Structure 1
């Protein structure tokens, strides 16, 4: 999933946790019927390896063909946004007007899957309520949580994750091996390849025992082999640790079955926590002033960053930009920062949650200053994106914006916490200008923030603009209402000003909520005015799109043809692919709405569908494909292709249920969909129609599956074919498909997720112009 810096689906080199991995995997195995055992919480101190263990459990479940989802909670601060955040992480965003909790649970009710909720401790109350409701409603879902404290719900099974095994005394045989020491050696060898650390095995065991076998503490210790010998680390350790250590039997009570010693588990947890905090203190003290500054400033980021972002937010007179790169590299060597992935040739980085929390606690006096720089950076980034997306670079701009959405929410929190409504609205306007809320699947989050900002503003144009934007989003969600327009008009009258956003929102309402021809000249003029004012600002193109929509649904045939043709020609000239997809959709709707009895026009609409769906699929668009499915359903019915129309009607229903994108609530769409489905029903008979409709609907309840079906349908037409060659991985997948391997079997054979297989298949069908049945012939000819 393309959502910023994804949680790694697999963690390599998980040392010394084989028993725990087996036990948690068994606990998280599918359970039928009973609620008990369907939520497993890995509980333990910070730095104990909860996240790494959970990730490996999920990875193995996915490799075995199980449907899995991964949710990172560490960057979420507002419990009120928990549902939207979980839906976004699972790529199950609801973009309709349903209550978020009910919408998500309604979708998950259909699933048999394992969901990882990572780092729950700061949101325990909200997570507890959500998980309890989910388990009661979705019998096929199992939740695996990580938390420093149990969730404390009735069905919870708590797995206490203790430290890695290390002997309580120095009395062990020379050939004995211990998980804690093996981890130290593994990390030390990564830092200094070629050095024989095993000759210091007893000293390393002693070091690991002194930090209670905590994995992250061990890794921090091991990172110091770049600067110190093993003997020097051992010499400094007693000073590092803030509490005295005796090598008594209490050392391993958390995990090693020593209940007969009458130990106090809470005391052991506190002791382990103190040991780890001491290790973090030492790591902090070993850092230079520049490294400490960068550590605490980077701890602000809710997700990941690259070096360009680090320089923009963290640099000042005390930490000049020209030392950021070297300081950052030093923190990587010290294991404070870890690599996430590489995106378009740029490496992204993050901190483990415990280390990030430590750094954030150091960020006290200068916190507001750093958060202000963060706000300025993210706002300027989105303002630039809003002005520069119109062109061939559009998809890359949208992908970049989607990756930065966690930073947007953090900056908006900063503004609203301080009552800075104007600053929040400036950022929201920039985000809205990129159009990312719709293809990025964050429509409800955007609506939430516009409404929240409106509540903070006094009566005036700022409030009018916020209300107008929220109305615009709600209209697109399928909630046509004019209730807010009365207040907006009153605010405009009181100030003597006119809100452009209100003009656009009213035109959208008169297009899809309460159709009126009056919206056509309004939108055309608004687009012309915006272009004349600043042709480099893409705002005019967005206005032109809504003007074309209005012309198609509200205008006569001549007007609809003229406006849709101009919009398509302009979009082809500009080369912005996502915009071009919508221009083709508009032209296709013209053919369907105004020319349904003309075969050549219907053929044109089919070709437009075939050439556009791959564009939306390549971006994993959460919005447009449902609109295209509706258009193609109506076209198929008009062309007498009743079985295809029934299937596509089922796909629309399934995608609507999954995403909440309610095309059927918008008047123009509602007419086209109902007319097409009535034609299909009449042509097939009720029984056959319902068979095809329900079968397609069930398949479309998984969004990736629905998108794959649309891509395959597009490939089956005689529309435009792509000539882009397949990648090496796509060729591997394609050859396995021709050998009759299922998606699940391909995933296991290539050690990738089933969802990744589906993404490859979408690309293969798009590039080849073939479907699963005809792919073999194409491969023989082309390769």
Structure 2
């Protein structure tokens, strides 16, 4: 994904060979042809996700706009479901205050398959989201996996059975070796664990009996197969006989749950004591972890850092923990749930959750320290990879009395990551929650207030922003917090700018500037220059606006690779040239801005570049191409009436240029080109901008 803004919900490569399931795949294919919501149900470990992903991969050719996977196992807050899905689909826009509306608007003309994996803990929210998508997006189909149906009108529910097992009884000479999907899976996983292993006539009866005892449950079979590294097949069978003799036979779902629980429990018993302890402690992670995180969170006086590494290797060898990358590890939900239950029994979980939160806090504060530097984007990507762990840490901090002040500290650090990708909706969600459960005396509250206000101003919620800023001013003045006071004033200036209140903006900026200068707060001065540049430009003063840009860029001279502020300064310079009547210089500044925002995967920045490039094309009388880029810009903001960049002056420019293009092309042709732009992915729109005369390539032929 580096260097590309391909939605990160694209289907991942299959982690191992896919075995059998022809009948189930055929049923899923037929169901997707007949229904727009198909839910695969079944107990944990039965293979719902593998079937869904293989079915989605097989169906991809029928969906011109792609197949997208949204993994939900690490999401615990149902209020963030729609925003999570929107982010995976690349249609999130921080200007939109209602993620569900944004999602439906962004997908309305798309023909795609959306895979929602692991919905059982979010059934209500997933059902609401599915209803909204089915009602507003006629060409979108949803394939969900869940331990229970979503209970949505029109839902087609397909229970996923265990793998087929051979019928009991002696095998005939004509029976093919390894007959049955369950046997084939065991054979494949056993060969991976012990190279050279094969199902033969000599061992076939034992393998078939083993698969029957495990009820054909894929996860149970895989956990058993890996034991062949230390046990012979005969020893494995004897252990299973002892393990299962108390279990009743029968194909009921409860019996299968018991089989899986017993098999996972058996794997647990076969682990060394320190491996069991590490298994339990690793369950605190949401969505995965790396080696350093495992050491930081799981090591203590009972299990030192060297032991964590050694025991992690053992858990990987036993397939309890799975590798998801060169230094990335995950646990399947069923395995993690077992570890979490065990953790509650063996030790107080609170210190572990604090260490997990502190681990995330260290990452977030390191990222905040690199804001407006050349390696900022690397840190943004690092924190985005830990999205589920970040959310778990925030939820813990804001739910547990005594931990909330640290939650505020974490939020103030995360703002620097969220602002770079316009994650305004998620930022507001957590900051609103923190403000509701903390008091005026909480350290960092002033920072939380003005940072939340920045998100609200950007979303057009000025009234709520002013209430936050009024409290921020009061608290900063009471505490003698001069930098905090200046940052509140700067945010008041931002709000006044977007409202068109020039005098109010000038007063607020004038209050803040000397404080920043006296304290040598370079990063604050960069943002201050950026906001003042926009104030001048939107009021028809391109010269002073360009001068503010130059002053801001001079402050970044020692950070030539910094992407966020440089992207916005380049955009502001483009606007300055536009209002000065220099269309070609405007375009020349827009393209580097677009490239930087594209690298940042910042939908707000990309949207505004597409829009002004559309203006440039309209001014060049290339109306068809201009309409396409205006359409690309309109794909991301929801239709909520929020002015462009929160500013009425830009909205007026947009209306005038759009009317000009519509008049030149005719309403029908304009709508056709505009619709084409709305269907472009970000990458396609960026390539189109290059082909449209702003970079190398051929011109578009209308």
TM-score scaled by structure 1?
A: 0.80
* 1:565 to 2:545 alignment: no
Residue 523 of structure 1, CA deviation: 4.4
Query: Which whole-Å CA distance do the structure 1 matches of 2:640 and 2:558 have between them?
Result: 32
Query: What residue in structure 2 maps to residue 620 of structure 1?
Result: 601
Residue 222 of structure 1, CA deviation: 0.4
Contact 2:368-2:414 at 8 Å conserved across structures: yes
- 1:319 corresponds, among 303, 317, 342, to 303
Query: Which whole-Å CA distance do the structure 2 matches of 1:703 and 1:424 have between them?
Result: 39
- 1:17 corresponds, among 21, 35, 38, to 21
1:140-186 Cα shifts (integer Å, max 9, x gaps): 22222212222233422221221111124132224331211111111
Residue 326 of structure 1, CA deviation: 2.3
Contact 1:715-1:770 at 8 Å conserved across structures: yes
* 1:423 to 2:406 alignment: yes
Query: Which whole-Å CA distance do the structure 2 matches of 1:614 and 1:426 have between them?
Result: 32
- 1:503 corresponds, among 486, 489, 497, to 489
Secondary structure in structure 1 of the residue aligned to 2:221: helix
Query: Which whole-Å CA distance do the structure 2 matches of 1:431 and 1:552 have between them?
Result: 30
Query: Which whole-Å CA distance do the structure 1 matches of 2:77 and 2:641 have between them?
Result: 23
Secondary structure in structure 1 of the residue aligned to 2:152: coil
Secondary structure in structure 1 of the residue aligned to 2:215: coil
Secondary structure in structure 1 of the residue aligned to 2:18: coil
* 1:283 to 2:210 alignment: no
Secondary structure in structure 2 of the residue aligned to 1:157: strand
Residue 104 of structure 1, CA deviation: 2.3
Secondary structure in structure 2 of the residue aligned to 1:69: strand
Change beyond 3 A, Cα 1:87–1:557:
closer
* 1:409 to 2:391 alignment: yes
* 1:651 to 2:668 alignment: no
Query: Which whole-Å CA distance do the structure 2 matches of 1:376 and 1:9 have between them?
Result: 32
Secondary structure in structure 1 of the residue aligned to 2:40: strand
Residue 691 of structure 1, CA deviation: 4.4
* 1:83 to 2:77 alignment: no
- 2:499 corresponds, among 513, 532, 550, to 513
Pairs within 5 Å for 1:255-274: 268-274=252-258
Pairs within 5 Å for 1:284-683: 284-341=268-325, 346-364=326-344, 365-419=347-401, 420-433=403-416, 436-459=417-440, 462-481=444-463, 483-484=466-467, 485-492=469-476, 497=481, 499-516=485-502, 519=505, 523=509, 526=512, 529-530=515-516, 533=519, 538-554=523-539, 556-571=541-556, 573-575=558-560, 576-593=562-579, 595-596=580-581, 601-637=582-618, 642=623, 644-657=625-638, 662-663=643-644, 665-678=646-659, 681=660
Secondary structure in structure 2 of the residue aligned to 1:158: strand
Query: Which whole-Å CA distance do the structure 2 matches of 1:416 and 1:476 have between them?
Result: 25
Query: What residue in structure 2 maps to residue 179 of structure 1?
Result: 181
Query: Which whole-Å CA distance do the structure 2 matches of 1:511 and 1:24 have between them?
Result: 54
TM-score scaled by structure 2?
A: 0.89
1:693-738 Cα shifts (integer Å, max 9, x gaps): 423432333461x54223332355466xxxxxxxxxxxxxxxxxxx
Secondary structure in structure 2 of the residue aligned to 1:363: helix
Query: What residue in structure 2 maps to residue 755 of structure 1?
Result: none
Query: What residue in structure 2 maps to residue 236 of structure 1?
Result: 239
- Listed as ranges, the gaps of 5+ residues in structure 2 are none
Query: What residue in structure 2 maps to residue 700 of structure 1?
Result: 677
Contact 1:92-1:658 at 8 Å conserved across structures: no
Query: Which whole-Å CA distance do the structure 1 matches of 2:277 and 2:640 have between them?
Result: 43
Query: What residue in structure 1 maps to residue 31 of structure 2?
Result: 27
Residue 138 of structure 1, CA deviation: 3.0
Residue 411 of structure 1, CA deviation: 0.8
Query: Which whole-Å CA distance do the structure 2 matches of 1:614 and 1:109 have between them?
Result: 27
Query: Which whole-Å CA distance do the structure 1 matches of 2:168 and 2:59 have between them?
Result: 38
Residue 132 of structure 1, CA deviation: 3.2
Residue 639 of structure 1, CA deviation: 5.6
CA RMSD of superposed structures (Å): 3.0
- Listed as ranges, the gaps of 5+ residues in structure 1 are 32-36, 252-267, 720-768, 775-783
Secondary structure in structure 1 of the residue aligned to 2:418: coil
Greater mean alpha carbon deviation, residues 648-657 or residues 369-378: 648-657
1:599-620 Cα shifts (integer Å, max 9, x gaps): xx43222111223322322343
Contact 2:110-2:137 at 8 Å conserved across structures: yes
Change beyond 3 A, Cα 1:130–1:72:
same
